[in-house]
Amino acid sequence: MKTFALVNFLFLFIIILNSCEEKETENIAPFCTFIGPDNGQEIQQGTIVTISVEADDSDGNITKVHFYINGSEVGSSSSYPYNYVWNTSSENVGNHTLEAVAVDNAGGSITDKIEVSISGSVTDIEGNIYKTVKIGNQEWMAENLRTTKYSDGTAISLVANNSSWKNLNDNNAYCWYDNDISNKEKYGALYNWAAAMNGSTIEMAQGVCPSGWHLPSDSEWFELQNYLIANGYNYDGSTSGNSIAKSLATKTGWETSSETGHIGNRQQENNTSGFSALPGGDREIGVGIFNAQSRAGSWWSSSLYNISPRETGAWSRELYYCGSVLMKGGIGKYNGCSVRCLKD
């Protein structure tokens, strides 16, 4: 009996010993993390980007790091530093997923993943360069237009005097807010509707936009709005109702508000869409005065609406520091508003 017990003890001891040895030899997964670019970073299309990761293995060595862009392997590195050089010239504007998979000498692997966005650009007749952003199936300028000429080189009249602006009627004109050209780079120009459309009344006319771009129609503004709502860009993450203003507005430059969901509240959370809407103000038709810079922005559409049986206006889109809604407005064509162009 004692012999039987001793045999059982030795048998169990051997099993436990083998189990410990198996645990001691179990492979530990390697370590892998992105060094650059940063998660969420915006990259200008055409930039040469060095994708770099740090990888290590505590119980062996790294044999290879594989690099993937949008699910497709684009390269690998078998020695430190673990880098891949990415030429973004042929990449589409929009969001891109970067992945790095580190593999160790025992076949273990680990994956790290980040998202970056590629912004495009467009250049107007005067050489002004504008960032662009892909939102859904649309590519928008991510800056307000600031050209003083049409794409054929024809100059647009600069009208500074309040009385002259008031009496423009259907004459093309632009101005800088407060007649201060220092507003040009940040806020762009304010155009009356005739100037924005270059005299056309056809929806989606090129107007003042560069070749290959046009003034968005009312329905195209709605397409932008509907995409953002459906994809959770409302400030509370909901997918119904219109509370997308924060997702469109810049992170700085707006007057402050204490109300949750307003553009002016917690501005660091703004601009998740990359549209970068600025509070450039406008120029009022009645007396030609400037109004609401830092508090509101308004942008033309190429679509007309009837103010009265004898007068037509144009639809616009408006954002206010004290609001959460992208507002549709119908305003007189002789107002001065900002322009955002949409790619054909």
The pLDDT tens digits of the residues spanning 139-158 come to 999 999 999 999 999 999 99
Task: Count other C-beta atoms under 10 Å from residue 183's C-beta.
Answer: 21
Mean pLDDT of the region 200-208: 96
- What domains appear along the chain, each with residue ranges and CATH number? 31-119 (2.60.40.10), 124-343 (no CATH)
User: Helix (H, G, I), strand (E, B), or coil: what is residue 140?
Assistant: strand
Residue that the structure tokens 């469109």 belong to: 248
- Residue 297 clears pLDDT 70, i.e. is over it: yes
pLDDT value for 244: 98
User: Helix (H, G, I), strand (E, B), or coil: what is residue 112?
Assistant: strand
Strands 213-214, 342-343: pairing is antiparallel
pLDDT value for 11: 52
pLDDT value for 24: 56
For residue 47, the number of C-alpha atoms closer than 13 Å in the C-beta half-sphere is: 16
Give the separation between CA 317 and CA 141, rounded to whole angstroms: 15
- Residue 199 clears pLDDT 80, i.e. is over it: yes
- Residue 18 clears pLDDT 90, i.e. is over it: no
- Residue 1 clears pLDDT 60, i.e. is over it: no
pLDDT value for 249: 98
Give the pLDDT band (50/70/90) at residue 183: very high
pLDDT in tens, 19-67: 544 455 788 989 999 999 999 898 988 899 999 999 998 888 899 999 9
Strands 109-123, 42-44: pairing is parallel
Give the separation between CA 327 and CA 147, rounded to whole angstroms: 26
Give the separation between CA 249 and CA 4, rounded to whole angstroms: 81
Mean pLDDT of the region 250-260: 97
- Residue 7 clears pLDDT 80, i.e. is over it: no
Of the chain, the percentage scoring pLDDT greater than 90 comes to 76
In order of 59, 296, 324, the CA distances from 259 in angstroms are: 54, 16, 9
- Residue 170 clears pLDDT 90, i.e. is over it: no
pLDDT in tens, 69-78: 999 999 999 9
Mean pLDDT of the region 101-115: 92
CB contact at 8 A, 319 and 326: yes
- List beta partners, residue 96: 116
pLDDT value for 89: 87
Who has greater pLDDT, 22 or 103?
A: 103
- Residue 211 clears pLDDT 60, i.e. is over it: yes
DSSP state of 169: T
Give the chain's radius of gyration (CA, Å).
29
pLDDT in tens, 319-343: 999 999 999 999 889 999 999 999 9
Amino acid at 103: V
CB contact at 8 A, 96 and 118: yes
- Residue 272 clears pLDDT 70, i.e. is over it: yes
| Helix or strand (DSSP H, E) at 334 | none
Reported residue count of the chain is 344
Round the average pLDDT of the chain to a whole number and report it: 91
Lowest mean pLDDT among 276-280, 289-293, 309-313: 309-313
pTM: 0.79
pLDDT value for 12: 53
